[in-house]
């Protein structure tokens, strides 16, 4: 533990350097622990609930994140003005930027997360691979970064196709390309470099063997400042589209106790190889023979953390805060038991019937599902505008059941109860998935959604009912309009009345 890299001490006021549902999640955890909260908001987020739920709120500039949520100086200035002693970065934005963690440290603020050095190592895919491999963690065969195209082409032959082109500074599928034949590689390299350069300002790419029929399974860990580290079981995140996770569950259909223990031990070793502190996630690719390979470590809280919370009973965000306050982890590995099953659906503003195109607009109505086993994390509200400035996730719907079957049935019920109008959402996609035989029997891999799952065979059967509803509403509206026009105008035609009214307006 390099104590000069990490500040941990008791704090009573925390700045949440984020927005949306994760800002709400952090604020709630703080308030449960008696920590006062400071929110920051961009010009378009003044009405967001995180502003209202926090104890204090400060504006930090225009809607584009690079002019507000990504400006380190503005955040530190708000911390100074408000007297916040700690910063929680949430996920996205600055959460995995080592210079932000360092700047917090330099300003005497507790950063709720690992050391800048751990973020730096794990944030560089190559350094991460080398570091964890040295600690005995299995990695997927691939190349180092920084090779030119000729060298990559040559190495690709020895690794064998299919192959994955990945950005050295990448994440979230950006700068990533699948290549099945040698002649596709030069084009894929150019596209990946262009995308990586635009997204991360770093066009370096590397190659990795593509594991087909692979599953994406990750292990959640918690580590305290004394180096005590436990794993909280796995999350199955195989169902993705263009490398964006859509559905996550815990436990995984294919992980048994033996595999869980082996993956957990390796995850802890990977975390300890960088003296990791706080909550983190080690992502693995698992092939059909249940060999598992390190993909990357996410040095922050994950979007999908609630499924782990529901099956372990551990409040991960509160543990993050306790760890950052310098407290000893309250759990030994033997205390961690998985109980029941939890599944999360990410509700995004996108049209599943039109190639998942993002749907912008103003949310007019929201009514959330409730009842047993249903948890919702959201920060949108009627009047909220879905803009291109921030990502399209509008809510997370998480259902818990004693068994996987019960969790699925609850999700079906909750998805049906979910009412949102004004933007299109991917709720029908989730409904279709919950009806799919492959999902129910756990038979899917990371390419299932894109290659073998179609909305075309979904039969939305309420056409007639929709017609009746719309007609009744239109009829009632027409009647009301004619009553207004007709009132007190017995001797006058409606046309005359309208004409008179028009003249009055003019």
Structure tokens at 358: 């993002």
Query: What's the token pair of residue 402?
Result: 């004693």
Which CA distances in Å does 176 have to 205, 232, 307, 331, 351?
Answer: 9, 29, 27, 38, 23
Q: Which of 9, 46, 475, 500 binds other proteins (CB under 8 A)?
A: 475
Cβ–Cβ contacts within 10 Å for residue 438, how many?
13
Q: Cβ 48 to other proteins, closest distance in Å?
A: 17
Provide the minimum distance between the beta carbon of 365 and other proteins in the complex, in angstroms, as a whole number. 6
Query: Can you tell me the distance from the alpha carbon of 208 to that of 298, in angstroms, rounded to the nearest whole number?
Result: 19
Q: How far is the CB of 394 from other proteins (least distance, A)?
A: 11
Select the residue interacting with other proteins from 391, 442, 447, 485 (CB under 8 A): 391
**What is the bridge-based pairing of β-strands 292-298 and 278-286?**
antiparallel
Q: Which of 1, 154, 440, 468 binds other proteins (CB under 8 A)?
A: 468
- Answer for which of 476, 498, 499, 501 binds other proteins (CB under 8 A) is 476
User: How many Å apart are CA 36 and CA 83, to the nearest integer?
Assistant: 11
Chain Cα centroid distance, residue 367:
22
Residue 247 C-alpha from the chain's centroid: 10
Catalytic residue among 215, 235, 260, 300: 300
Question: CB of 432: closest distance to other proteins in angstroms?
Answer: 10
Q: Using an 8 Å Cβ cutoff, are 242 and 334 in contact?
A: no
Of the ranges 133-141, 312-320, 463-471, 484-492, which one interacts with other proteins (CB under 8 A)?
A: 463-471
Spell out the residues 6+ positions from residue 162 whose beta carbon is closer than 8 angstroms to its own. 178, 179, 180, 210, 212
Rounded Cα–Cα distance for residues 101 and 119 (Å): 8
- Residue with smaller CB distance to other proteins, 11 or 356: 356
Helix (H) or strand (E) holding 35: none
Looking at 15-23, 209-217, 385-393, 446-454, which segment touches other proteins (CB under 8 A)?
Answer: 385-393
Cα separation of 431 and 412, whole Å? 6
Tokens for 203? 């066009």
The answer to the question of residue 66 lying near other proteins (CB under 8 A) is no
Q: Residue 192 in 3-state DSSP?
A: helix
By the rule CB under 8 A, 462 interacts with other proteins:
yes
Whole-angstrom Cα distance, residue 170 to residue 418?
34
Nearer to other proteins among residue 102 and residue 240 (C-beta): 240
Stretch that binds other proteins, among 53-61, 263-271, 323-331, 469-477 (CB under 8 A): 469-477
List the structure tokens of 135.
Answer: 């600690």
* 478 binds other proteins per the rule CB under 8 A: yes
Interface residues for other proteins in 346-365 (CB under 8 A)? 355, 357-360, 364-365
Distances (CA, A) of 325 to 110, 167, 207, 283: 8, 35, 40, 27
In the complex, least distance from residue 210 CB atom to other proteins, rounded to whole angstroms:
20
Considering beta carbons, is residue 288 or 475 the nearer one to other proteins? 475
Q: Which of 1, 154, 405, 470 binds other proteins (CB under 8 A)?
A: 470
Of 120 and 241, the one with the shorter C-beta distance to other proteins is 241
Nearer to other proteins, 213 or 462 (CB): 462
Pick the stretch among 105-113, 203-211, 268-276, 412-420 that binds other proteins (CB under 8 A). Answer: 412-420
Q: How many residues bind other proteins (CB under 8 A)?
A: 45
> x-or-dash pattern for other proteins, window 239-268, by CB under 8 A?
---x-x------------------------
C-alpha atoms less than 13 angstroms from C-alpha of 210 in its C-beta half-sphere: 19
Cα–Cα distance for residue pair 202/125, rounded to 1 Å:
12
Q: Which is nearer to other proteins, 2 or 471 (CB)?
A: 471
Q: Are 40 and 13 in contact (CB under 8 A)?
A: no
Residue among 440, 474, 481, 492 that touches other proteins (CB under 8 A) = 474
300 is catalytic: yes
Phi/psi region, residue 146 (left: phi>0; alpha: psi -120 to 50; beta: rest), is left
**For residues 160 and 382, which CB has a smaller minimum distance to other proteins in the complex?**
382
Site for other proteins in 158-217 (CB under 8 A): 172, 195
Cα 258–chain centre separation: 28
Nearer to other proteins by Cβ, of 110 and 366: the residue is 366
Alpha carbon 244 to its chain centroid, in Å, reads: 8
> Which residues inside 419-438 make contact with other proteins, applying CB under 8 A?
419-422, 424, 427-428, 431
Residue 498, interface with other proteins (CB under 8 A)?
no
Out of 93, 390, 448, 453, point to the residue binding other proteins (CB under 8 A). 390
The residues, any chain, with a CB within 8 Å of residue 157's CB and separated by 6 or more, are 182
Nearest approach, Cβ of 191 to other proteins (angstroms)?
A: 9
CB count in 10 Å sphere of residue 35: 23
16 closest CA partner among 391, 279, 320: 320
Q: Which residues bind to other proteins, rule: CB under 8 A?
A: 172, 195, 242, 244, 355, 357-360, 364-365, 367, 382, 388, 390-392, 415-416, 418-422, 424, 427-428, 431, 460, 462-476, 478
Catalytic residues: 300
């Amino acid at each position: 533990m390099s104590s000069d890299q990490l500040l941990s001490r008791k704090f009573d006021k925390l700045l949440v350097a984020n927005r949306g549902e994760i800002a709400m999640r952090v604020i709630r955890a703080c308030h449960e622990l008696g920590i006062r909260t400071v929110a920051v908001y961009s010009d378009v987020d003044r009405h967001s609930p995180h502003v209202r739920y926090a104890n204090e709120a400060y504006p930090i500039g225009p809607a584009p994140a690079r002019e507000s949520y990504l400006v380190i100086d503005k955040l530190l200035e708000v911390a100074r003005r408000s007297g916040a002693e700690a910063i929680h970065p949430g996920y996205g934005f600055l959460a995995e930027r080592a210079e932000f963690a360092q700047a917090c440290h330099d300003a005497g603020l507790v950063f709720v997360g690992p050391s800048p050095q751990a973020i730096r190592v794990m944030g560089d895919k190559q350094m991460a691979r080398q570091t964890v491999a040295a600690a005995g963690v299995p990695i997927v065969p691939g190349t180092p970064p920084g090779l030119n195209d000729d060298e990559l082409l040559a190495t690709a032959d020895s690794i064998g196709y299919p192959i994955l082109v990945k950005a050295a500074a990448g994440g979230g599928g950006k700068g990533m390309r699948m290549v099945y034949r040698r002649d596709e590689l030069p084009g894929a390299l150019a596209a990946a470099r262009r995308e990586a350069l635009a997204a991360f300002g770093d066009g370096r790419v590397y190659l990795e063997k593509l594991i087909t029929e692979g599953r994406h399974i990750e292990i959640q860990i918690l580590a305290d400042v004394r180096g005590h580290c436990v794993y909280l079981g796995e999350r199955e995140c195989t169902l993705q589209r263009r490398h964006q996770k859509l559905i996550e569950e815990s436990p995984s259909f294919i992980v048994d106790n033996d595999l869980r223990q082996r993956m957990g031990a390796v995850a802890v070793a990977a975390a300890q190889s960088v003296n990791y502190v706080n909550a983190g996630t080690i992502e693995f690719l698992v092939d059909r023979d249940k060999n598992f390979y390190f993909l990357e470590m996410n040095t922050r809280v994950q979007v999908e953390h609630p499924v782990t919370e529901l099956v372990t009973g551990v409040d991960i965000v509160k543990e993050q805060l306790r760890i950052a306050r310098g407290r000893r982890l309250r759990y030994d590995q033997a205390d961690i038991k998985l109980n029941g099953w939890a599944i999360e659906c990410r509700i995004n503003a996108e049209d599943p019937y039109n190639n998942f195109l993002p749907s912008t607009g103003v949310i007019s109505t929201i009514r959330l599902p409730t009842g047993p086993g249903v948890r919702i994390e959201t920060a949108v509200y009627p009047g909220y505008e879905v803009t291109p400035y921030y990502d399209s996730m509008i809510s997370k719907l998480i259902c818990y059941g004693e068994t996987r079957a019960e969790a699925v049935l609850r999700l079906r019920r909750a998805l049906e109860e979910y009412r949102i109008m004004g933007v299109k959402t991917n709720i029908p996609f989730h409904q279709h998935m919950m009806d799919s035989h492959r999902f129910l029997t756990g038979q899917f891999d990371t390419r299932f959604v894109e290659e073998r799952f179609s909305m075309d065979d979904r039969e939305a059967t309420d056409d007639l009912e929709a017609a009746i509803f719309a007609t009744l509403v239109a009829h009632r509206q027409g009647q009301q309009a004619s009553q207004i026009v007709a009132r007190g105008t017995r001797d006058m035609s409606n046309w005359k009345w309208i004409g008179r009214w028009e003249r009055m307006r003019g």
